[in-house]
Structure 1
């Protein structure tokens, strides 16, 4: 083994790279979603949930947005598993992975049209696809909230109490926002609650990924602190 190879931890480098996708996933999804929302005829951010962008002629763009985001989330889940090598790490990784899978399934099964969107739609009875979309959405957000709680437990175990507090708060917001939004889905309040849930969940993922990224030993052994060598 060369001196350069001995001084570089490839495993740590890969782990950090995977966790980096957890930081990117949220901003990517929100930015692309907002751009699509502002350019789709008949779509109003104050009235329509972002998932409705999967409907209509250009719905494939939002489906692709969801799938690409899901791949980033799954990469982050693998990063958590590699970084936190205990039961809590496994729980966080599995739950984040479930959220990623639910994102994919939510893209495969789009929601039902609502009155006014796509343009000219009058809504109608719930379809199998629409029901499955809601189920996978509920499972995904529940898993993301549970991941935040599991991460909070790990933070308490390593003495990072501030991280534990904000993770718990964001997890609660995810649950209240999603299920409150689902209950009031047909009025602006419901859309606002869904947005709050999405932003809280993706913020937790970014902050947790960033925290675990920094906690993971530096790939260059010479740059590690004594406690992390």
Structure 2
């Protein structure tokens, strides 16, 4: 991604990449919502999101996993060329990249869906166990990367206007991950809800970061005339 222009306006490539990231976040949410209403009608409260990738329309969710990987790549690209380089930014971007790779890997390792009346995560096949490993690693990498980049963004003027919103989504993702751990251990019947809280934080953070990358920098000179 090219550097911002003298006027403070991000380069066309930067704006396009950030815009694609924002679009993919919206599409991801829409696909998730639509799939909930299609057979076999999984529960938002109790069923893991990965269950949507099993069944007649599972291929759509698999495309969504790939979409999340591309969206993560968009975030990495816009962040990696915004503001001053640092170890925090580098490690944060690497962790986000790993999270995106984990999302794409879910396509090749479908989850084991619980039987009627069963809740929680209990892999019964090697493929299901690998799926859980990738999903868990992806969540942990994404959240750790977000936390590191939240610290780095304190010195990145381009994200000053969205820093509070980004931090709020980091907090939401962290809360969701804690609740997800609690639900897995003690209240598996709400696993789906807690997982989606964590996902809401991750997706919301990606959206506002891309939004910030498209903003005109106030330190780069006068804003361009509309």
Question: TM-score, normalization: structure 2?
Answer: 0.78
Is 1:153 matched up with 2:155? Answer: no
> Cα offset for 1:20?
2.2
Matches within 5 A, 1:1-229: 12-87=11-86, 88-116=88-116, 126-158=124-156, 160=160, 162=164, 165-166=167-168, 168-183=170-185, 186-187=188-189, 189-214=190-215, 225-226=221-222
Q: Structure 1 pair 164/113, CA: closer, same or farther in 2 (3 Å)?
A: closer
Q: Which runs of 5+ in 1 are unaligned?
A: 1-5, 118-122, 219-223
Answer whether contact 2:25 2:71 (CA < 8 A) is retained: no
- Compute the RMSD of aligned alpha carbons: 3.3
Q: Which runs of 5+ in 2 are unaligned?
A: none
Question: TM-score, normalization: structure 1?
Answer: 0.77
Quote the Cα distance in structure 1 between the aligned partners of 2:183 and 2:47. Answer: 11
Q: Hey, which of these two has a bigger chunk of helix by percent?
A: 1
Larger radius of gyration: 1
SS at match of 1:91: helix
Q: Structure 1 pair 9/204, CA: closer, same or farther in 2 (3 Å)?
A: closer
Aligned residue pairs, count: 212
